[in-house]
Structure 1
Amino acid sequence: MKRHINKIAIMLLTVATLLVSCKKFEDFGDLNTDPTKSSNLDPVNQLVLTQLRFSGELTINERTSIIMTMPLVQQIGGAYYTRYGFEYVKNRQYMSEMWELGYPNDVLNIVDAVERSAKDPLKTNLNAMCRIMKVYIFARITDLYGDIPYTQAGKGYVSGIVRPEFDAQKDIYNDFFKELTEASAQLNASKDNVVNDIFYQGNTAAWKKFANSLHLRLAMRLSKVDPDKAKAEVQAAYAAGVFTDAADNCITRHADVQNSYADIRGNGISVAINQYPDEGRPRICSTLLDAMSSANDPRLKPIARNYWVNPDKPSERLDVTDALRAANIPIIGVGPGKYNYDDFLGAVNVDLGGGRIVQVPNNGQKVQLANWMITNDAPYFHITYAETELLLAEATQRWGLSLGVDAKTHFEQGVAAAMKQLALFKGGPVLTDTQIQNFKTDNPLAPGKELEAIDTQLWIALLLNGPEAYANWRRTGFPDLKTATNAESTSLTTPRRFEYPLTETEQNATNINKAIANLSGGIDDWNARVWWDKQ
């Protein structure tokens, strides 16, 4: 797979060259004026580019996941550059990156790829994959902002500059369900084979399950705002065939490359963490540690590790976890809204054996994500069997739906899958069936607390997928996160969305003002709620 990605990187240079005319986002309207549009660009290249950028593009993943959403849901924090999320310090630029880099690159390419492939009767599978990818890309954007340009976005109009209208999020979601249903049905193994596809190498059966599992994820977004619609779409997705095994997981298996802002072959999440000196890297938030520790979660020990802070390269630093535990130093993270240097700990000496004693300072005593989780070639999980099972558990519990098995079975299968998928990381832990069974025995679905248990496990399973963890937390309210305000905070509660870019408010005022009016409170503020985020 890594050779496959490196080979594809060469062909993507062609795509990048052809996209030079689509200059960096300065005026949204310019995206709709493309008189130099290539007439022979292969849509498969555009599909692959958007697939690889989704988890490989450094700026979006750094700003959106590491700086904002993972700290907002109290999975990580403590580092100075993560204060925007863990302390609620408003930064419009960081909230704008998904929009300003996504529309002129990912949206422009995938919309064009859908249109190009639709014109070729020999590319029906490619067209279906592009349609599914289009939904996947737009879903991440609308879930963060609310109403967005959708129907007119990425369209080329040679007649002049067009300011795209914003579509209501409700309408966008209705189209998502239509597109996923049609695209899933359109896939046919006897038709074109899209071998360069990053996700499944052209496997149409796998793509069907991906489309239907994405359909399930998005259907659950409506669980509070429109339960009847949510139930109907959940049942439709399940009937069409969702993930049934870990082999169905949608994963990008990145290359062992230290990403730059131009090279997208490595894992953008990992690089976003590792590009800073050790003392400046985020630590694991105590909220996550407490949830896992109280449940005696067997994932905690392999995930939360202590490192001697010199040298800075993760591959070369020294793991002192076991030595600290032997010295009765507990697992310590950073509290909500606090920096690595808050609650300062004096240095301790630990014995590594063989007469080697090292001094572990404050930062070394506060646990980080394990090395094996943040390598350049770490896999990126888009949608997994674990997530699918936990969503089915919630739907079954919430509405009493008949989705194959009862909520307890879906829950236990989801938890087991989430634990086992850690072994897919290079050097990741292989948890035993006994460890997993002990966890399930000790953590049953308690009456009256079923939804909290299910969605807390989903929050843990979505570690390293910040935008999705943030969306599911907003939808469900689980886990119950305590606010993390302090003197620097610009919000008294956990923010609920990203604010629109200033460039859009300046250049597309008429249309964006209509979208802002649809937000709760009618103000473009990060405390306003998107349509599906109902109290």
Structure 2
Amino acid sequence: MKSVKVLSFLLAASVIAAGCSKFGDTNVNPNGATDPSTAALLSGVEAGLGSYATQTREGLYSQYFSETQYTEVSNYALPRLDFDAVYSGALFDLQNIIRYNTDADKLALSAKFGSANHQIAIARILKAYIFWTITDRWGDVPYFEALKGEEELTPAYDTQEAIYKDLVKELKEASDQFDGGSIATGDLLYRGVAASWKRLANTLRMLISLRTSKVYPNPGEWAATEFANAYADSDGYISDSTQNLTLFYPGTAAYRNPWYNLYLTRADFAQSKVMTDFMAAYNDPRQTSFGSSTIGFPYGLTRFDAVTFGENNPTYSRIHPSAYRAAGAPVVVVSSAHVMLAVAEARQRGWIAGDVTEAYQKGISESWRQWGAKGDINAYVGQANVSLAGGNALSKIHMQQYFAFYPNGMQAWANWRRTGVPALVPSPNASNPSKQIPRRFTYGSLAYSVNGENTNTAVGRLSGGDTPDTKVWWDK
């Protein structure tokens, strides 16, 4: 895939500005165009997708990373965070693409950017992905009544179960919506190619349904049925690294790899010793791509001890070597390794037929391919702690999922909550009352001040209240 050329008109073309409401009642830039380019809106959303795969807070909770100076997050300071910016930003832009392609008065404006069905289908798939990441972090959130602007400024919170099931429905319908019309322009990810978007939709259906394995563990239940349907869909799923959902950065000042920006002026984060110890224990050659050295930074230190360790070990491992965090380095958001290891788990659970070991080894090899790992993969998978022949197959699959998600902390933290693998030990300096790794984000101050009644109703459904120890629906 060619490197993405982010168009210079992106910001000028979009009229969506940060506003006072998190659900779409935004202020309009008086100097901007009256009508946006739907191509520019799509490009703008896609250009920001890399942030979903490079979150540090979730990477700290999953112990991929350690803090090197300010250690509050890795010691579990209260994660009271707002989701407003995502609603008034990326989600509202995607909703506007849908609106401009369904409103009879706007169709003529959007038609020059591709078939209405193509544009709507892509927007729906991206919306589903983003909403998935939101509900996995907070649990119940506004969904069905959100993004309606002045029609609904204080939307109700929907249950995570209802959201999950609608996300799968949306992905199915979006995939079927592509027609024979002209491809959508402004698509930085798959150049408007419907086949690629259909593969992504099926992939997300598989990953979303697998996330509910605690609730629906058995063959024939909702998760197994939805996974099997997506797996068997004739449009396929992401099974090769050339099909990965990858964001290619041009390296310009406005659009650079997030890891590059993270280390541009500071070095507040490092690869954790937890991770480097795992890589050593598994003789895993991916370490040369995962970190800049083999000196992992201890996890959960006090600020004094963290600063001291950094001063005494200046070559501690950063997140990736410099080549993987260059300004123009790509970021993989969804990979074939994630999917093939999900297939291996589904086969192991009896959800679908097939050779578990074949899918498992392909998942590992796809991850190695993604990271350019060098070594004898047959020797690697033959190790006692890797080979499925020695028992504990499900735990071994989960461990390889943990490796394959690196450095996507958002997915790793969710998958760890689902599986309990690896057996992470909470920070010895935890500051929260339970001293345990957080299981969810708590609702932010804006949720209470802007939409207090509905927020409190949602809190009333939480068995443990609005705390980081309360589990989301699928984390039973």
TM-score scaled to structure 1, two decimals?
Answer: 0.79
For residue 497 of structure 1, the aligned residue among 413, 435, 440 is: 440
- Equivalent position SS for 2:333: strand
Q: Does 1:410 align with 2:359?
A: yes
For residue 73 of structure 2, the aligned residue among 85, 98, 101 is: 85
CA apart distance, 1:470: 1.0
Could you say which residue in structure 2 is the equivalent of 1:530?
A: 472
Cα RMSD (Å) of the superposition? 2.7
Could you say which residue in structure 2 is the equivalent of 1:169?
A: 160
1:30–1:42 Cα change, 3 Å: closer
For residue 213 of structure 2, the aligned residue among 192, 214, 223 is: 223
- Equivalent position SS for 2:425: coil
1:195–1:38 Cα change, 3 Å: closer
Could you say which residue in structure 2 is the equivalent of 1:213?
A: 203
Q: Percent identity over the alignment? A: 28
Instruction: Map Cα deviations across residues 238-260 of structure 1 (whole Å, 9 max, x no partner).
Output: 012211211111100012134xx
Q: Mapping of 1:504-519 within 5 angstroms?
A: 504-519=447-462
For residue 464 of structure 1, the aligned residue among 399, 402, 407 is: 407
Could you say which residue in structure 1 is the equivalent of 2:5?
A: 5
The CA distance in 1 between the partners of 2:348 and 2:230, in whole Å, is 17
Could you say which residue in structure 2 is the equivalent of 1:351?
A: none
1:455–1:276 Cα change, 3 Å: farther
1:35–1:293 Cα change, 3 Å: closer
Q: Which letter maps to 2:313?
A: N
- Equivalent position SS for 2:301: coil
Instruction: Map Cα deviations across residues 224-251 of structure 1 (whole Å, 9 max, x no partner).
Output: 1123111011001101221121111110
CA apart distance, 1:268: 2.1
The CA distance in 1 between the partners of 2:305 and 2:451, in whole Å, is 43
Q: Does 1:271 align with 2:258?
A: no
1:254–1:378: 8 Å Cα contact kept in structure 2?
yes
Which moves more between the two structures, 108-117 or 475-484?
A: 108-117
Could you say which residue in structure 2 is the equivalent of 1:311?
A: none
- The count of aligned residue pairs is 458
CA apart distance, 1:77: 0.3
Q: Does 1:71 align with 2:21?
A: no
For residue 237 of structure 2, the aligned residue among 238, 242, 256 is: 242
Could you say which residue in structure 1 is the equivalent of 2:176?
A: 185
Could you say which residue in structure 1 is the equivalent of 2:39?
A: 44
Could you say which residue in structure 1 is the equivalent of 2:380?
A: 439
The CA distance in 2 between the partners of 1:151 and 1:34, in whole Å, is 24
The CA distance in 2 between the partners of 1:395 and 1:478, in whole Å, is 16
Could you say which residue in structure 2 is the equivalent of 1:364?
A: 314
1:510–1:286 Cα change, 3 Å: same
The CA distance in 2 between the partners of 1:509 and 1:248, in whole Å, is 43
Q: Does 1:520 align with 2:470?
A: no
1:516–1:365 Cα change, 3 Å: same
For residue 25 of structure 2, the aligned residue among 31, 43, 46 is: 31
CA apart distance, 1:30: 6.6
1:269–1:464: 8 Å Cα contact kept in structure 2?
no
Could you say which residue in structure 2 is the equivalent of 1:146?
A: 139
CA apart distance, 1:468: 1.0
CA apart distance, 1:32: 7.2
1:267–1:378: 8 Å Cα contact kept in structure 2?
yes
Could you say which residue in structure 2 is the equivalent of 1:194?
A: 184
> Which structure 2 segments of 5+ residues have no match?
none
- Equivalent position SS for 2:472: coil
Q: Mapping of 1:95-494 within 5 angstroms?
A: 95-96=81-82, 99-119=83-103, 120=107, 122-157=115-150, 162-188=153-179, 190-227=180-217, 228-240=221-233, 241-258=236-253, 263=254, 265-272=255-262, 274-277=263-266, 280-306=267-293, 331-338=294-301, 342=305, 362-368=312-318, 369-402=320-353, 405-423=354-372, 430-432=373-375, 435-442=376-383, 443-486=386-429, 488-489=431-432, 491-494=434-437
Could you say which residue in structure 2 is the equivalent of 1:310?
A: none
The CA distance in 1 between the partners of 2:121 and 2:226, in whole Å, is 19
The CA distance in 2 between the partners of 1:268 and 1:176, in whole Å, is 27
- Equivalent position SS for 1:364: coil
- Equivalent position SS for 2:238: coil
The CA distance in 2 between the partners of 1:297 and 1:438, in whole Å, is 11
Instruction: Map Cα deviations across residues 159-207 of structure 1 (whole Å, 9 max, x no partner).
Output: 6x6311111111111111111111112224x322124201111111111
The CA distance in 2 between the partners of 1:100 and 1:2, in whole Å, is 33
The CA distance in 2 between the partners of 1:371 and 1:76, in whole Å, is 16
1:287–1:220 Cα change, 3 Å: same
The CA distance in 2 between the partners of 1:513 and 1:27, in whole Å, is 18
2:283–2:380: 8 Å Cα contact kept in structure 1?
yes
The CA distance in 1 between the partners of 2:352 and 2:365, in whole Å, is 22
